[in-house]
Chain A
Amino acid sequence: MKLLEIEHLKKSFGSLEVLQDISLSVEEGEVVSILGPSGSGKSTLLRCATLLETMDGGKLAYCGDCICENNAYGQSVYVSKKERQRIQSRFGLVFQNFNLFPHYSVLKNLTDAPIHVQKRNKEEVYAEAMELLKKMGLQDKADYYPCQLSGGQQQRVAIARALAMNPQMLFFDEPTSALDPELTVEILRVLRQLAEEKMTMVIVTHEIDFARHVSDRVIFMDGGRIVEQGRPEEIIDHPSNDRTRAFLQKIQR
């Protein structure tokens, strides 16, 4: 089943066309890595998909439920706020700089939205949150505040916070870019584990090795377009496009 469908997405900031005609669909259980030079529009793509930006043109749907669709003039028209809120809980986003709530304890970071947004049963949410923390190796950190944790631990809390909403898929925007190399490893380990559990994920990353070994599909973006996509071996080891080749050479050195 197609969890995410994006068709002919267009997005400009003023006169700058940041995304030009992006089409992308993600199957249930699929792990997709997005590579590309900085400024190529990767973050903007994730932000459009997670409703942090509004699309100028194109269609966006989760599990066949439309969030926006083109009108006769090729402009995106969004569904009602209520409908958006309903679909919102199907996906989660993990940021490069975590964006944890600093005034909430780790446990409250995980449980507040499920309890007050999704209105789920408190005991159930707490039990699930403790499970998630255990899975992230943070069971003894439930009462800590984010500022008392290392960057890697904070990012694991952020991943757990996204998972606590029981989303069908997760987006990651350079989840390891703010971390030291030794902390990067612990985040990649978590992502690999999630991939093994068949969590549907779209990951923007510069970790080429990780992308090759963990993802089912690699997308290379440049200049607001998808330049090339396919199986990781094809794209990373035998890129057909010059720009992909140049980018990979630069990053692998």
Chain B
Amino acid sequence: MDILSIVTQLGSGMLSTLSIFFLTLLFSLPLGLLVCFGRMSNWRPFRKLSKDSSSGKLVSGLANFRPVQWLIKIYISIMRGTPLMLQLFVVFYAPYYVFGISINSSFRFYAVLIGFSLNYAAYFAEIYRSGIQSIPVGQYEASSVLGYSRAQTFCKIIFPQMVKRVVPAVTNEVITLVKDTSLAFAIAYQEMFTTAKQIAAAETSIMPLFVAGVFYYIFNFVVAFVMERVEKKLDYYQ
């Protein structure tokens, strides 16, 4: 079996891999920002309780309770603390086993997207958070004295500086994502790796897997190149 016919057979799998990759980024990059806001939320609905001092431990604990931050912390720790493959299973099978909704096979694609996006959003959120927290407090103070609103301060001053700071860490995650797309085989979604395995088994040849490996490598090479350009582009200051 020659390389050309392997590549042709892998072709549609490659397209699936590419679409998982781009759609996951499209959803998880902004979703990560939302999660990051939740993680940094200081909303304390019971704050007023401890106004009249001399309150007990329980009351002051309740007063300091930040429900949004707490929920997001749990979400992030689950996303980071369990295997992505397991998360894909849960997203794919939960509708049937938990809610009794019958699933057709086109749901595989959506399950992969939902699983990946939720997982990567958690990682991106933590990256964004460290980026935001690394910005000197003087930037907020200067913005405040110049009269910028909170929204203006974030959009004009903090966010652009955060983007520059997080590019290297985001690059790492994006490269991991390229390789992680192969995990979609766990719920039998036909991306390239699944296809390669099937051809390899049918032809009893290692060649298809080798071609798949080369594809991932080239893909990541391109990703690294693009991200380097982005980094260069942001190099105009400091």
Interface digits, B122-157 against A, CB 8 Å rule (1 contact, 0 not)? 000000000000001011011011111000100011
Judge whether B147 and A99 touch: CB under 8 Å: no
Cβ of A246 within 8 Å of any chain B Cβ, yes or no, is no
Cβ contacts under 8 Å, A112 to chain B = 156
Judge whether A89 and B147 touch: CB under 8 Å: yes
Q: Which of B138, B141, B146, B148 gathers the greatest number of chain A CB atoms within 10 Å?
A: B146
Interface digits, A94-130 against B, CB 8 Å rule (1 contact, 0 not)? 0101011111000000001100111000000000000
Q: How far is the CA of A162 from the CA of B148 in the complex (A)?
A: 13
Cβ of B238 within 8 Å of any chain A Cβ, yes or no, is yes
Judge whether A102 and B238 touch: CB under 8 Å: yes
Contacting residues of chain A (78-95) with chain B, CB-CB under 8 angstroms: 85, 88-89, 92-93, 95
Judge whether A118 and B147 touch: CB under 8 Å: yes
Judge whether A102 and B237 touch: CB under 8 Å: yes
Q: Which residue of A lies closest to B136 (CB)?
A: A99
Q: Which residue of B lies closest to A171 (CB)?
A: B145
Judge whether B141 and A52 touch: CB under 8 Å: yes
Q: Which residue of A lies closest to B137 (CB)?
A: A99
Q: Which residue of B lies closest to A165 (CB)?
A: B146
Cβ contacts under 8 Å, A52 to chain B = 141, 144-145
Q: How far is the CA of A88 from the CA of B164 in the complex (A)?
A: 30
Cβ of B160 within 8 Å of any chain A Cβ, yes or no, is yes
Q: How far is the CA of A164 from the CA of B165 in the complex (A)?
A: 29
Q: Among A99, A117, A145, A162, point to the contact of B138 (Cβ < 8 A).
A: A99
Cβ of A194 within 8 Å of any chain B Cβ, yes or no, is no
Q: Which residue of A lies closest to B148 (CB)?
A: A117
Judge whether A146 and B237 touch: CB under 8 Å: yes
Q: How many residues of B contact A (CB 8 A)?
A: 19
Cβ of A51 within 8 Å of any chain B Cβ, yes or no, is yes
Also in contact, A101 and B148, with CB within 8 A (given A95-B141, A145-B236, A145-B237) = no
Judge whether A97 and B138 touch: CB under 8 Å: yes
Cβ of A147 within 8 Å of any chain B Cβ, yes or no, is yes
Judge whether A88 and B157 touch: CB under 8 Å: no
Cβ contacts under 8 Å, B164 to chain A = 103
Cβ contacts under 8 Å, B152 to chain A = 116-117
Contacting residues of chain B (33-71) with chain A, CB-CB under 8 angstroms: none
Interface digits, B195-238 against A, CB 8 Å rule (1 contact, 0 not)? 00000000000000000000000000000000000000000111
Judge whether A92 and B161 touch: CB under 8 Å: no
Q: Among B139, B160, B236, point to the contact of A99 (Cβ < 8 A).
A: B139
Cβ of A50 within 8 Å of any chain B Cβ, yes or no, is yes
Offer 7 A-B interface pairs, CB within 8 angstroms, sorted by A.
A101-B139, A102-B161, A102-B237, A103-B237, A145-B236, A146-B238, A165-B146
Interface residues of A (CB under 8 A from B): 50-52, 85, 88-89, 92-93, 95, 97, 99-103, 112-113, 116-118, 145-147, 161-162, 165
